[in-house]
Amino acid sequence: MAEKTYLQAISDGLRQEMRRDKRVFVIGEDVGVYGGAFKVTLGFQEEFGPWRVIDAPLAETAIVGSCTGAAMMGMRPVAEMQFADFISCAWDHLVTVAAKQRWRAGTPVPIVVRLPSGGGFSGGPFHSQNPESSFAHIPGLKVVCPATPEDAKGLIVSAIEDPNPVLYMEHKHLYRRIKGEVPDERYTVPIGKARTHREGEDVTVVTWGAMVYTADEAANQLDDVSVEIIDLRTILPWDKQAVLESARKTSKVLVLHEDTRTGGFGAEIAATIAEEAFEDLDAPPRRITAPDSPVPFSPTLEKAYIPQVEDVVKGLKELAEY
């Protein structure tokens, strides 16, 4: 056990799997010589060679599509999108081919696509997005969004092991900011299981990714409200049972995410709570999300866009008083 950054945890998990399993390879833009735009694969090419750490042309469909072909031939590819935003270029392949191949043709597609996602550092409209809800709507895909270093490692291992296409959303704002104890040995974190980040009695916050820390800071500021934080960890499938249990316990739920509001995954969670736990609620489920706009560049605008600690404090107070 050692303290590691979130980024080191991803890197360690990936390296461990590549050492263990020759079928695992990495492909993406600048992942080899350069070690990846964020240096997740730094030193990988020296260790594993240019045919297991593959610098691809600037062609996301070729990157993800070729992962599918290689996976069907017995490999375990891990693609890196330089930024999660660029997955739009490979959206068609993922949705049309990878997600449906097992169901229609009986051929599993065990691939992982790493998506450095999220904002908070003036990345602007094309380097800051959180596209999880676009993929949560696609049967056949899995989507994971770890928040802690421990989960980051455990979920990258689970994603590689999983026989389905898994989108691994790693939040860029957590890369070097968040540190935690990470076991040295190999372990997995189950896909589809939430984690209780903080136990509480009065209000539940359901969230994931970087917003786990925003929720935690907000909870710290409230002396008279006991807040429970459920870190969903995986979006598809999501841990409905854990969310409903917490909703029934506290009777008040705030769903918090960094993605935009309309059609965001929070809508699915709020709808499910309303459908299945309505009679246990003492307040309507509430959402705090980014507004329905592209992610802005300038710091003042971006601060107004990404949910802030004070927004969550206000929301929690209102819910507690409801």
Partner 1 sequence: MAVREAEPVASLSEVKEAGLDREDLLQIYRNMVLTRGLEERGHILYRQGKIPGSFYTGRGNEASAVGVATAMGTDDVGTPLHRDMGVHVTRGVEPWRVLAQYMGRRDGPTKGKDGNVHMADARLGLIAMVSHLPAMLPVAVGCALAFRIREEQRVAVGWFGEGASARGDAHEAMTFAGTRRLPVVFVCDNNQWAYSTPTHLEYATEHVADRAVAYGFDGVVVDGTDVLAVYREAKRAIEKARQGGGPTLLECQTLRMEGHAVHDDAFYVPKELFEEWAKRDPIERFRLWLQEHANMTNEEDEEISSGVKKLLNDALQRADESPLPDPSELLDGVYATPEDLDTPHHK
Question: Is 127 annotated as catalytic?
Answer: yes
Q: What residues form DSSP beta bridges with 205?
A: 229, 254
Nearer to partner 1, 64 or 174 (CB): 64
Question: Comparing C-alpha atoms, which of 27, 24, 26, 114 is closest to residue 74?
Answer: 24
Q: Is 92 in the site for partner 1 (CB under 8 A)?
A: yes
Contacts with partner 1, 163-192, as mask; x by CB under 8 A: xx----------------------------
Nearer to partner 1, 64 or 253 (CB): 64
**From 18, 37, 40, 71, residue interacting with partner 1 (rule: CB under 8 A):** 71
Q: Around Cβ 158, how many Cβ atoms within 10 Å?
A: 25
Place of tokens 């979920």: 155
Report DSSP state, residue 149: H
**From 103, 121, 278, 322, residue interacting with partner 1 (rule: CB under 8 A):** 103
Q: Is-contact 141 113, C-beta < 8 A? A: no
Q: What residues form DSSP beta bridges with 231?
A: 195, 207
- Supply the minimum distance, in Å, between the C-beta of residue 311 and partner 1: 36
Question: Comparing C-alpha atoms, which of 108, 22, 18 is closest to residue 31?
Answer: 18
Q: Is 205 in the site for partner 1 (CB under 8 A)?
A: no
Q: Is-contact 144 190, C-beta < 8 A? A: no
Q: Is 47 in the site for partner 1 (CB under 8 A)?
A: no
Contacts with partner 1, 119-148, as mask; x by CB under 8 A: --------------------xx-x------
* Rounded Cα–Cα distance for residues 303 and 169 (Å): 22
Instruction: Enumerate binding residues for partner 1 (CB under 8 A).
Output: 25, 51-52, 54, 56-57, 59-75, 77, 92-93, 96-97, 100-110, 139-140, 142, 161, 163-164
Q: Which residues are catalytic?
A: 127
